[in-house]
Amino acid sequence: MAKIIAVCMSEEKGTKKEAVVEGILEEDYGLVGDAHADCCTHRQVSLLAMESINKMRRLDFEVGPGDFAENLTTQGVELVSLPVGTKISIGKDVLLEVTQIGKECHSGCAIYQQIGKCIMPKEGIFARVFRGGFVKAEDQVRIEKNG
């Protein structure tokens, strides 16, 4: 079963995010209280798979959820294989729509400065909040079938 491992936020852009017990994803805005939340962007929420973080751990980097500035750390779903437009259901209420796979990396981010490597550009995904609600660790993640 695919699930949320951590919900993470930060007050400033370009920094690692800290795990919180629970977050509120606001429709067409993002994670309330997070520096990246914005009504006017297609990158309202970022997601990264625990499987991607574990790749870095196998290279002897001490990293965990939030270290790559992702809002939601997942487990059990291959995020980078999801095409743009895919709907992701989380818990009882939340519905996200994938808007971007990966991103252009800027060398100024905290994780790049710390270890000289970042996986978000290739393995992170971004989404807009299609339907908001509460999100917390252990919430089930489901990929909605199109059509």
CA distance 135 to 74: 12
Predicted local confidence at residue 147, as pLDDT:
47
What pLDDT, on the 0 to 100 scale, is given for residue 66?
93
Model pLDDT, residue 108: 57
The per-residue pLDDT for 105 is 61
**Mean pLDDT, each 10-residue run in order, the chain (147 residues):** 97 88 97 92 94 90 90 96 96 97 66 66 90 98 81
Give the count of domains, the chain: 1
Strand, coil or helix: 88: strand
Q: Could you give the dihedral angle defined by the CA atoms of residues 112, 13, 138 and 140, in that order, rounded to the nearest 10 degrees?
A: -100
| pLDDT of the residue at 73 | 98
Q: Give which of 112, 104, 120 is closest to 47, Cα–Cα.
A: 120
CB-CB neighbours of 7 under 10 Å:
28
Expressed in angstroms, the distance from the first to the final Cα of the chain is 23
CA–chain centroid gap for 6, Å, is 9
CATH code of 91's domain: 2.40.33.20
On whether the CB atoms of residues 132 and 80 are closer than 8 A, the answer is no
Q: Give the angle 17-99-115 at the CA atoms, nearest 5°.
A: 35
Residues spanned by the domain of 67: 3-143
The predicted pLDDT at position 15 comes to 80
